[in-house]
């Protein structure tokens, strides 16, 4: 286990380094003069030059990258061009909000998706499977803003039971914020549900075909026992990975959803940063998102390896 962990962590560090270079390169070295963008068209050449010098934009690229990376690692994420405030507390507060939304979504979508997938897989080719499969296929295809706006229309405009906007104040306790969270979480659930259900179904169908299932049936076990003890045990193992992969998927969706509902999470902050060309902020948000995805993947791999006796952990 130890060696596996070391190897896995080694890859994680390499991946973070690579993505950080990519993110940094995209935000800093692609066309566009940061100073001009930040200070505006009217700024004089001297002011621009002072700005560049202040931010170290004249240094060679590797130096800039090294300085930024060093800062990022020790927690000094710099100040925002647009608000002038410290970036880290801002990002962390928004991250908390986004995690709330993501957590709520996972809690609803994963068990429900697995349930639907298992049912569809066990009844492959019958009406229950057809209904679930076509249903999930349709939902998987709907962009978040379409489902989100449809839900707003029904629940906020027609029924009037839930707020259309989820713009909560910073520091609102979880249960007070809950009504505002329901619609965004439901939207995200729609997207994830189909994803989880379809992958689970595929796993169940595949496991059902394996010869050990026949062995179990011919041992004289009840079908119920065959499914619960033999089929699901093997079919749900990869689902662990599915959940982790879908986390990255969920984050993409949440960026859009937060903008549909005006929910103050990382996604809205990201768009704000892009809009204002606030590169330090943009880089910080991107790195936080990437770290989140990578840690989720790592957790899934470790869990999978721990659950699966076939993987030798040496």
Applying the rule CB under 8 A, the residues between 93 and 122 that interact with another protein are 122
1 touches another protein (CB under 8 A): no
Q: How far is the CB of 233 from another protein (least distance, A)?
A: 6
251 touches another protein (CB under 8 A): yes
Count of residues in contact with another protein, rule CB under 8 A: 80
The one among 192, 216, 284, 300 contacting another protein by CB under 8 A: 216
38 touches another protein (CB under 8 A): no
Within residues 264-303, the interface with another protein by CB under 8 A covers 270-271, 274, 277, 282, 286, 289-290, 293-294, 297
Q: Please identify, among the stretches 60-68, 165-173, 177-185, 224-232, the one whose residues bind another protein according to the rule CB under 8 A.
A: 224-232
313 touches another protein (CB under 8 A): no
Q: How far is the CB of 51 from another protein (least distance, A)?
A: 19
Three-class SS of the chain: CHHHHHHHHHHHHHHHHHHHHHHHHHHHCCCCCHHHHHHCCCCCHHHHHHHHHHCCCCCCHHHHHHHHHHHHHHCCCCECCCCCCEHHHHHHHHHHHHHHHHHHHHHHHHHHHHHHHHHHHHCCCCHHHHHHHHHHHHHHHCCHHHHHHHHHHHHHHHCCCCCCCCCCCCCCCHHHHHHHHHHHHHHHHHHHHHHHHHHHHHHHHHHHCCHHHHHHHHCCCCHHHHHHHHHHHHHCHHHHHHHHHHHHHHHHHHHHHHHHHCCCCHHHHHHHHHHCCCHHHHHHHHHHHHHHHHHHHHHHHHHHHHHCCCCCCC
Q: How far is the CB of 261 from another protein (least distance, A)?
A: 11
145 touches another protein (CB under 8 A): yes
Within residues 152-191, the interface with another protein by CB under 8 A covers 152-153, 157
10 touches another protein (CB under 8 A): yes
71 touches another protein (CB under 8 A): no
The one among 47, 92, 137, 313 contacting another protein by CB under 8 A: 137
Nearer residue to another protein within complex by CB, 185 or 260:
260
């Amino acid at each position: 286990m130890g060696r596996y962990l070391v190897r896995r962590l080694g890859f994680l560090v390499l991946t973070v380094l690579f993505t950080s270079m990519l993110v940094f390169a995209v935000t800093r070295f692609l066309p566009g003069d940061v100073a001009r963008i930040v200070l505006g068209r009217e700024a004089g050449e001297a002011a621009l030059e002072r700005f560049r010098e202040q931010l170290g934009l004249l240094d060679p690229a590797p130096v800039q990258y090294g300085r930024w990376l060093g800062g990022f690692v020790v927690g000094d994420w710099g100040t925002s061009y647009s608000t002038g405030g410290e970036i880290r507390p801002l990002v962390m507060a928004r991250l908390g909000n986004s995690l709330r939304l993501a957590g709520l979504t996972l809690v609803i979508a994963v068990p429900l998706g697995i349930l639907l997938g298992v049912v569809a897989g066990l009844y492959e080719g019958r009406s229950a499977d057809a209904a679930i499969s076509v249903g999930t296929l349709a939902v998987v295809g709907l962009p978040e803003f379409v489902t989100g706006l449809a839900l707003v229309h029904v629940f906020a405009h027609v029924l009037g039971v839930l707020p259309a906007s989820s713009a909560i104040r910073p520091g609102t306790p979880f249960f007070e914020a809950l009504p505002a969270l329901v619609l965004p979480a439901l939207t995200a659930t729609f997207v994830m549900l189909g994803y989880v259900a379809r992958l689970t179904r595929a796993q169940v169908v595949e496991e059902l075909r394996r010869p050990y299932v026949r062995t179990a049936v011919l041992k004289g076990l009840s079908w119920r026992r065959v499914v619960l003890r033999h089929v699901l045990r093997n079919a749900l193992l990869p689902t662990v990975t599915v959940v982790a992969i879908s986390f990255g998927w969920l984050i993409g969706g949440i960026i859009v959803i937060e903008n549909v509902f005006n929910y103050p999470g990382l996604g809205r902050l990201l768009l704000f940063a892009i809009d204002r060309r606030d590169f330090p902020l943009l880089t910080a948000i991107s790195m936080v998102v990437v770290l989140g995805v990578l840690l989720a993947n790592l957790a899934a791999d470790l869990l999978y390896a721990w659950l699966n006796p076939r993987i030798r952990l040496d």
